[in-house]
Amino acid sequence: MSTLNPGMDAETFDQFIDQLRRYVRDRLIPAEKDILETDRIPADILGEMRDMGLFGLTIAEEYGGAGMNTYQYTQTIRELAYAMPCFRSIISITVGMVNSALRNGGTEEQKAKWLPQMAEGMVTAFGLTEPGSGSDSAGMQTMAVKSGNGWVLNGTKRYITNAPDAKMAVIMARTSKEALPKNAHVSAFIVPMDTPGITVGKSDKKMGQAGTHIADIILEDVQLPADALLGLEEGKGFVTAMKSLDNGRLSVAAASMGYARRAVDSALRYASERKAFGEPIANFQLIQQMLAESDIEIYASETMLADCARRVDAGEPVLRKAAATKVFASESCGRIVDRVVQIYGGAGYLAEYDAERFFRDARIYRIYEGTTQILQLQIAKHMLREFAAGVN
């Protein structure tokens, strides 16, 4: 498989991963208790993450980033996601979806303006989902209307990760009232979050994922200049969003397996220490079965992710494979954290232990960046389309 994006030098990348692995275990995991109490990543840790270049992982070196390819990025996310999910969420929208949108659809001027700020640590958001629509672009209600030399946006975006902290957002909006073929009624806009007319709702209370903030973004007569239109071209927003979501889905897959590994390591430690009938429960074969099944599923997820990421770097279209990887990794993570609660037994239901937090935190992975059910439909449609076209 040829490589179009070689990414960071291999030796440098290996050194970076070793450093990150130590940082996650020595600095991030000890900070989790404080984050659970405050629902916020400490400012000094955010500063350290910026200094390490975590906000610029995939941004090209010419704009101040590390220039990682997709394979390196997903391996980095897997390591980072061994700690609680908020550390991935705060950077992944920037280095994943927003960077992908600008890289694939932005003009040179837009890249030069925004990518260096992102690489330095600017928090961003990606506004696609609405109260009445998510994957269904025909149901999108946010409108962008031409006004003089610019645009006026009105609408509401819902469940937007990083919305309370973001300085900039890529917002999807209709530029045509009619639903057009190939979703050409949707365009993408680069929106500074301090623009008059933007209101960010109260941060939503969630089942899990402490320190990760989501909220509504309400746009009321938000006036934007002409160059806010991504790529200065109408009708490309949905295509841009879908390309960005491929990246986002691989990031969620990587996060799923990183957190699954953390949960399994916790279960191994607990099963080795907890005794019943005079011996560690790790000696019981049904406990061993749950551990083994979990390890098998993590390995399968890692293999799918590595293959899909390398295909991205080789320039192959991966919409179907990225969806499959995200579905398998997130669903297997759900099964794994459930087994971990079972291994902990009654203690697994108590907030005093990590198992119940793993269970709550992991549940969202099967929902965002495309629910399992939506992605299954997407995979099946592509299978049927390829069958009808005679593609093997």
Q: How far is CA 159 from CA 75, 130, 186, 367, in A?
A: 26, 8, 19, 12
Which residue in 79, 302, 356, 369 is the catalytic one? 369
The answer, yes or no, to whether residue 134 has pLDDT greater than 80, is: no
| Predicted TM-score (pTM) above 0.85 | yes
The answer, yes or no, to whether residue 283 has pLDDT greater than 80, is: yes
Phi, psi of 107 (to 5 degrees): -80, 165
Residue 1 pLDDT: 43
Please, where in the chain does CATH 2.40.110.10 lie? 125-233
Residue 157 pLDDT: 96
Q: Are 221 and 197 in contact (CB under 8 A)?
A: yes
Of 5 and 323, the one with more pLDDT? 323
Residue 102 pLDDT: 93
Residue 369 designated active-site: yes
Please, where in the chain does CATH 1.20.140.10 lie? 239-388
- pLDDT band for 176, please (50, 70, 90 cuts): confident
Residue 96 pLDDT: 87
The answer, yes or no, to whether residue 4 has pLDDT greater than 90, is: no
Residue 140 pLDDT: 87
Q: What is the mean pLDDT of residues 46-66?
A: 95
Q: What pLDDT digit, counting tens, does each position of 21-48 carry? A: 999 999 999 999 999 999 999 999 999 9
Q: What pLDDT digit, counting tens, does each position of 120-133 carry? A: 999 999 999 999 87
Give a three-class secondary structure readout of the chain: CCCCCCCCCHHHHHHHHHHHHHHHHHHHHHHHHHHHHHCCCCHHHHHHHHHCCHHHCCCCHHHCCCCCCHHHHHHHHHHHCCCCCHHHHHHHHHHHHHHHHHHHHCCHHHHHHHHHHHHCCCCEEEECCECCECCCHHHCCCEEEEECCEEEEEEEEEEEECCCCCCEEEEEEECCCCCCHHHCCEEEEEEECCCCCEEECCCCCCCCCCCCCEEEEEEEEEEEEHHHEHHHCCCCHHHHHHHHHHHHHHHHHHHHHHHHHHHHHHHHHHHHHCEECCEEHHHCHHHHHHHHHHHHHHHHHHHHHHHHHHHHHCCCCCHHHHHHHHHHHHHHHHHHHHHHHHHHHHHHHCCCCHHHHHHHHHHHHHCCCCCHHHHHHHHHHHHHHHHHCCCC
Of 92 and 1, the one with more pLDDT? 92
What's 125-233's CATH class? mainly beta
Distance CA 174, CA 141 (A): 7
Residue 133 pLDDT: 79
What's the fold here for domain 239-388? Butyryl-CoA Dehydrogenase, subunit A; domain 3 (1.20.140)
Please, where in the chain does CATH 1.10.540.10 lie? 10-123
What's 10-123's CATH class? mainly alpha
